[in-house]
């Protein structure tokens, strides 16, 4: 593989695919506790086994390599490495990730490793998780263990996956542990502490003399206002602060967005946790690349009336709810009649890929970007021949990839693309019904057999065509 070859691969997360929730010394995670009996786990599914990547990783990596992919993004389970969140290291956890990394390299896949993807060790969650400032140093100590163990072979690292969306679901929607609803104080505090933790881990990585690169992964919240909006600029200003600017400005520019503190104060939102010394941490912890998970945009208009409310659909086809939010006196989401939605009420809007990339370039310049996730969640059953003909996924992903390539042609510095997900896996509160994989997993069969879907072959061809057309000269 040439050093500057575009990376094409798939992305997973530890809790969503590994299974083996209590094997080989792994400690309890917050999702183990939540999924085992919390009534808010409305579909009743757990990640106890999932697609059992822990025991099937060679098969999955073989499948990725045969699909012409040259990279694999996965996350490390903090509680598999440090069962109590801090202190004693679980050597069997280290062995597992060494095996995954070594097998990736043997098969020609560049490992892209995320340190934290929604799954706090329960011991840390019980102390308040990222709402507690102590978690910052616990995270950095955990990052050090990972950098020391795997940093000789892993050249692409991400500190935190979707810090904003994690904070949103845990503190605004209330569908992720610890299930706080509409708690603006806690939402911003968790985002802020995650930003500080990420910057400290980046600074640590850069100080260790390792030869790779480190970034953060955000959920792209590209904001658009509808044409009838009376105050589009003001809404954009507020929405960018609410959605993504805290994480983007701290990680790319190394500074807190200037408008953030006045905005929070004017709205009586707690700012007491913001410390002057953190400004230096942000300066020292600037990322090398940005990971962007691209699924949808935030389509907004002026606040109309009523109390603040979050709209969320974890019941899929059983519910008619559309994903969105109304924040009193700020803004609300609105419906674009020309845009399709998936059965969980989320917009499918391929152009947000182009818009998000161009906006990042416009605001932050030439920072290298990886599209760390993009994909389509559907209900799926194999046909009589055992195949899944997932034409909707193919159409949808093709649209997003076309927009990514258009943005690259217009000057955006995109280095790679990861399909979410290489195989079917656990979709958090949506359980197993919402499938994203390019490879079908039979969750009813204890052997968890895998069968490639039509999209798997489409993706392989797309990668080969891209290499032939763009990289063979
Ligand atoms: C983003 C998250 O990183 C991942 O965990 C999730 O399952 C996918 N989006 C699909 O919703």
- Mean pLDDT per 10-residue segment, the chain (473 residues): 84 98 98 95 95 98 98 98 98 98 98 98 98 98 98 98 98 96 98 98 98 96 94 96 96 97 97 98 98 97 96 86 92 94 90 97 97 97 94 98 98 98 97 97 97 98 96 77
How much distance in Å is there from the Cα of 262 to the middle of ligand 1? 32
In 3-state terms, what secondary structure has residue 296?
A: coil
**Is 362 within a domain?**
yes
Structural domains counted in the chain: 1
On whether residue 138 sits in a domain, the answer given is yes
Options 18, 332, 347, 373, the catalytic residue: 373
Do 17 and 120 meet the contact criterion of CB atoms below 8 Å apart? no
**Number of neighbouring beta carbons within 10 Å of residue 193:** 24
Nearest residue to 102 via CA among 47, 61, 69, 143: 61
pLDDT of residue 419: 98
What integer pLDDT is reported at residue 374 of this predicted model?
98
Per the structure, the complete domain to which residue 278 belongs is given by: 7-294+343-471
Q: Is residue 224 part of a domain?
A: yes
- What is the reported pLDDT for 2? 61
Q: Report residue 82 CA to chain centroid gap.
A: 22
How many CA atoms are closer than 13 Å to the CA of 256, on its beta-carbon side? 23
Helices (H) and strands (E) in the chain, counts: 16, 17
304 inside domain: no
Where does residue 381 rank: exposed (0-12), middle (13-18), buried (19+ CB within 10 A)? Answer: exposed
Instruction: Give me the pLDDT at residue 319, please.
Output: 84
> Which of 428, 433, 435, 437 to probe ligand 1 with, by most ligand atoms within 8 A of CB?
428
| Catalytic residue status for 373 | yes
Any idea what DSSP says for residue 250? I
> Considering the domain boundaries, does residue 301 fall inside one?
no
The Å distance, Cα 141 to ligand 1 centre, comes to: 26
Instruction: Give the CATH number, domain containing residue 224.
Output: 3.20.20.80
Ligand 1 site residues (CB inside 6 A) read: 13, 16, 161-162, 293, 373, 420, 427-428
Q: Is the dihedral of CA 340, 341, 346, 348 positive or negative?
A: negative
Residue 338 lies in a domain: no
Q: For residue 68, what are the contacts with CB-CB under 8 A and spacing of at least 6?
A: 8, 460, 463, 464, 467
The rounded distance, in Å, linking the Cα atoms of 242 and 265 is: 14
* Residue 272 counted as domain residue: yes
What pLDDT sits at residue 344? 86
| pTM for this predicted structure | 0.97
Given the CA of residue 427, which atom of ligand 1 is nearest to it? 7
With 0-12 CB in 10 A as exposed, 13-18 as middle and 19+ as buried, what is 71? buried
Task: Please tell me the distance between residue 321's alpha carbon and the centre of ligand 1 in angstroms.
Answer: 19
DSSP secondary structure string for all residues of 396-465: HHHHHHHHHHHHHHTT--EEEEEES-SS----GGGTTTSB--SEEE-TTSTT--EEE-HHHHHHHHHHHH
Query: How remote is the CA of residue 13 from the centroid of ligand 1, in Å?
Result: 8
Helix (H) or strand (E) holding 353: helix 351-364
Choosing from 162, 224, 332, 347, which is the catalytic residue? 162
| Residue 197 maps to a domain | yes
- Report the atom number in ligand 1 closest to the C-alpha of 118: 5
The span from the CA of 207 to the CA of 212, in Å, is 12
**CA 287 centroid distance within chain:** 16
Alpha-carbon distance of 460 to 466, in angstroms, equals 10
**CA-proximal residue: ligand 1, atom 7 (nearest):** 427
């Amino acid at each position: 593989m040439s050093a500057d070859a575009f990376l094409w691969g798939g992305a997973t997360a530890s809790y969503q695919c590994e299974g083996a929730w209590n094997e080989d010394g792994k400690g309890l995670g917050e999702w183990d506790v939540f999924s085992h009996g919390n009534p808010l786990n409305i579909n009743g599914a757990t990640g106890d086994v999932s697609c059992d990547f822990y025991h099937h990783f060679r098969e999955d990596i073989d499948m990725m390599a045969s699909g012409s992919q040259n990279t694999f993004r996965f996350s490390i389970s903090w509680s598999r490495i440090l069962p109590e969140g801090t202190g004693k290291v679980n050597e069997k956890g280290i062995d597992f990730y060494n095996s995954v990394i070594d097998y990736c390299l043997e098969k020609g896949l560049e490992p892209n490793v995320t340190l934290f993807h929604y799954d706090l060790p329960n011991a840390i969650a019980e102390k308040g998780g990222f709402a507690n400032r102590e978690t910052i140093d616990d995270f950095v100590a955990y990052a050090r263990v990972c950098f020391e163990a795997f940093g000789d072979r892993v050249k692409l690292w991400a500190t935190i996956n979707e810090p904003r969306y994690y904070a949103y679901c845990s503190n605004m929607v209330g569908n992720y542990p610890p299930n706080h609803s509409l708690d603006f104080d806690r939402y911003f505090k968790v985002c802020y502490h995650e930003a500080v933790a990420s910057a400290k881990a980046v600074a640590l990585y850069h100080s260790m003399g390792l030869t790779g690169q480190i970034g953060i992964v955000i959920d792209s919240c590209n904001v658009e206002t509808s044409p009838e909006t009376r105050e589009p600029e003001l809404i954009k200003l507020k929405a960018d602060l609410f959605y993504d600017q805290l994480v983007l400005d701290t990680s790319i520019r190394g500074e807190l967005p200037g408008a953030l503190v006045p905005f929070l104060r004017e709205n009586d939102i707690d700012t007491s946790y913001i410390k002057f010394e953190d400004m230096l941490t942000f300066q020292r912890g600037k990322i090398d690349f940005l990971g962007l998970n691209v699924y949808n945009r935030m389509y907004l208009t002026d606040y109309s009336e009523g109390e603040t409310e979050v709209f969320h659909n974890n019941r899929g086809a059983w519910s008619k709810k559309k994903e969105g939010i109304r924040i009193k006196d700020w803004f609300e989401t609105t419906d674009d009649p020309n845009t399709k939605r998936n059965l969980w009420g989320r917009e499918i809007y391929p152009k947000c890929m182009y818009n998000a990339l161009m906006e990042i370039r416009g605001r932050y310049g030439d920072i290298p970007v990886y599209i760390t996730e993009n994909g389509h969640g559907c209900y799926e059953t194999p046909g009589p021949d055992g195949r899944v003909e997932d034409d909707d996924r193919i159409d949808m992903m093709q649209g997003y990839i076309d927009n990514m390539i258009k943005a690259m042609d217009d000057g955006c510095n995109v280095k790679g693309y990861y399909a979410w997900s290489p195989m079917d896996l656990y979709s958090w509160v949506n359980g197993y019904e919402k499938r994203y994989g390019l490879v079908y997993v039979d969750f009813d069969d204890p052997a968890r057999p895998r069968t490639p879907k039509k999209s798997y072959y489409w993706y392989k061809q797309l990668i080969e065509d891209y290499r032939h057309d763009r990289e063979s000269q």
